[in-house]
Amino acid sequence: QVRLVESGGGLVQAGGSLRLSCAASGRTFSSLTMAWFRQAPGKEREFVTTISWSSDRTYYADSVKGRFAISRDNAKNTVYLQMNSLNSEDTAVYYCAARSADIVTMARALYNYWGQGTQVTVSS
């Protein structure tokens, strides 16, 4: 059993930044591949970024490359999503996700632990 608790969402102006956090509990965090997904109104939940157990591998969706950065602190059982240069297309509910295999992937179905989501709204 894995519990994921997110924080850091909110309202930000276009061009601004936010940092999301996701705290994990219930099993060894260092043995979880972590990821962020997001879902905008009327759209499917889409992959944003993922990070391996030891942070040696990361992968980003093209839409966020160069603007977002994923990181993790295994001592704190927490994964972060630093979001910079935000625009209106980044408005979505952001979900933290986890899987036990140490293989980064963008496939939503391969992540079997999910947080409740946190709203990020980018205003103009």
Whole-angstrom CA distances from 116 to 4, 57, 62, 97 are 8, 25, 24, 10
pLDDT band for position 1 (cuts 50, 70, 90): confident
pLDDT in tens, 21-70: 999 998 789 999 999 999 999 999 999 999 999 999 999 999 999 999 99
More confident residue, 27 or 81: 81
- Nearest 5°: the CA angle 24, 82, 115 is 30
Q: Averaged over 64-81, what is the pLDDT?
A: 97
pLDDT at residue 27, rounded to an integer: 78
- SS3 for 25? strand
> Which tokens go with 69?
């950065």
- Nearest 5°: the CA angle 34, 40, 93 is 50
Q: Is the dihedral of CA 61, 64, 93, 124 positive or negative?
A: negative
Q: Averaged over 113-119, what is the pLDDT?
A: 97
Q: Averaged over 83-90, what is the pLDDT?
A: 98
pLDDT at residue 91, rounded to an integer: 98
